[in-house]
Chain A
Amino acid sequence: MSTITIRKATLKDIPFLTKTIIEAEKSGTSTLSYSTIFGLNLNEIEQLISEMLLEEVDDCELSISSFLIAEENGFTAASLSGWLENASEIPSSVLKGNLLNYYLPRECFIKAAESAKYTKALHIDYIPNTFQIGAGYVEESFRGRQLLGLLTEELIKGLTAQFPSINEIYAQIFDCNTPSLKTYERAGFEIVSTKISKENDTINYLPSLKKILLKKDIKKSEQKINNLNK
């Protein structure tokens, strides 16, 4: 009998979390921003992400503590990250930028500076004091079983238990990532805005020219479910 268990990620999960971050960055395409922006090869990217995760910096997309893992009979099937934005009064983008600055080889910075204009064109700020969903990934053999939906539900439960006054959770995805869009819509998220890059060269660095911002009002969703159950 197969049983899915959900648990918090640990240091032992770093290889799977690295894969999750890489696959989420690619969003189903072959464009990996760590490669296009920094000029690194896959081995270098895996090493870089592993090193940054090992630092155990909390409250950003490169935090082990932000990730939940779905397991089936001891096999890691999927993972998803989420955090409270600005939890320590420092934006998650700053925490990630600090890690990149500390670990990236200097020669990557010139290439990164050249691409900044194109990647900024799709940047959407994280709103302080809201929950944010980061990278998610499901192993191919476990797809079609709504594991990301299950992880999303568990992530929200965990975050709201820790921060009960927070009511909004957001996810940013590229428009080419149809599976994630469907997952979040099924989980009660709604599209609140889209951002389209006017810089055509953005596509040379990122998986798409269009980004979608989704939001879920947690209390409103709970209310809807309660009303349906009455």
Chain B
Amino acid sequence: MERTTITEKITPVFRKVLNEASLEITDQLSASDVDNWDSLSHMLLISEIESAFNIKFKLKELNKMKNVGDLISIISTKLEE
């Protein structure tokens, strides 16, 4: 799946979980950039993304993600597996 398609698919998930209707999803976006991106929101975010793509991240994969760009790369890799 193309990175742009993945971005389009994760954008509504981010907006819904983080309750930010106009949140712009970029590769550089990280938890430090969004108020209230707490552990609970992050947990729900990852869970919704796993459901949306029908994938399950390994803990090591999750702990390597520094920003949305990393997340998209890992989703892309997992979809090719």
Contact = CB atoms under 8 A, between A and B. Distances in A.
A125 B30 CA distance: 13
Given A97-B46, A101-B62, A109-B44, A125 B35 contact: yes
A140 to B, nearest CB: 29
Contact of A98 (B38, B41, B63): B63
Contacts of A102: 57, 59, 62
Nearest to A98: B62
Contacts of B30: 91
Interface size for chain B: under 10, 10 to 19, 20 to 34, or 35 or more residues?
A: 20 to 34
A115 B39 CA distance: 13
B53 to A, nearest CB: 14
B79 interface: no
Given A90-B65, A99-B59, A109 B38 contact: no
Contact of B40 (A90, A106, A112): A112
24 contacts: A90-B31, A90-B65, A90-B66, A91-B32, A93-B38, A93-B39, A94-B65, A96-B39, A97-B38, A97-B40, A98-B59, A100-B39, A100-B43, A101-B42, A101-B62, A102-B57, A102-B62, A112-B44, A113-B44, A116-B41, A120-B36, A120-B40, A123-B38, A128-B32
Interface of B: 30-32, 35-47, 57, 59, 62-63, 65-66
